[in-house]
Amino acid sequence: MAAARPSAVRARAGIRRHRGSVAARAGAPRETALAVYRIRRATAADAGVLARHRAGMFRDMGELPDDLHDTLIEAARAYFTQAIADRRYVGWVAQLDDESGEIVGGAGLQLRELLPRPDVARGRLVRGPQGLILNVYTERAWRRRGVAAALMRELLGWCRENGIESVVLHASAEGRPLYEKLGFTSTNEMRYPGDP
């Protein structure tokens, strides 16, 4: 059975409050039953891992044919290398705090400039970039252990501290409960399936 296509959800960066600043939380160890991991900012050196996560994400949703797997990894690796350096992509990884240093999850944000737009609920205009959350992925053995939630809290905290007032993502069926817990809601976004 094919996985359901992801649907759009949106959150305001300031919707959840966390104690302490992002700087105080960054790198703080998080324990699970098996090991300890740290959340840290992704660097261009992580591009290969981020690319494999991207391919894994699409594979898990049933949207990556085998013949495109290697091509996607190479294209994504090249993108992440450049976009992280250019600051068009800001990412975080969950890295085991042991000698392996294995990266077990990641999440990122593509910043895109939008026209000023009304925020009726707040009675004002929203200006500035919008954060498009991408590449939220946890290695299968680490799922349901809080890794994705920790990554998302770090990402949303960074958005709040950097004035990113609008944050959107496309949720998979598996990820939707986490995003709803974090305050994301469904929107009216539609997708055009043809060639424009």
| Residue with the larger pLDDT of the pair 136 and 36 | 136
For residue 31, the model assigns a pLDDT of 54
Asked if residue 27 has pLDDT above 90, the reply is no
- Residues with Cβ within 8 Å of 165's Cβ and at least 6 positions away in sequence, in order, are 12, 13, 14, 119, 126, 127, 128
Find out if CATH 3.40.630.30 is the number for domain 7-186.
yes
For residue 43, the model assigns a pLDDT of 98
The helix (run of H) or strand (run of E) holding residue 102 is none
Give the sign of the dihedral formed by CA 77, CA 55, CA 39, CA 3.
Answer: positive
For residue 121, the model assigns a pLDDT of 86
For residue 35, the model assigns a pLDDT of 64
pLDDT in tens, 153-190: 999 999 999 999 889 999 988 999 999 999 999 888 88
168-156-21 Cα angle (round to 5): 165
pLDDT in tens, 93-147: 999 999 999 999 999 999 998 899 898 988 999 888 999 999 999 999 999 999 9
pLDDT in tens, 41-82: 999 999 999 999 999 999 999 999 999 999 999 999 999 999
For residue 6, the model assigns a pLDDT of 38
| Residue with the larger pLDDT of the pair 128 and 35 | 128
Strand, helix or coil at 92? strand
Would you give the distance in Å from CA 77 to the centre of its chain? 16
Strands 185-186 and 103-113: unpaired
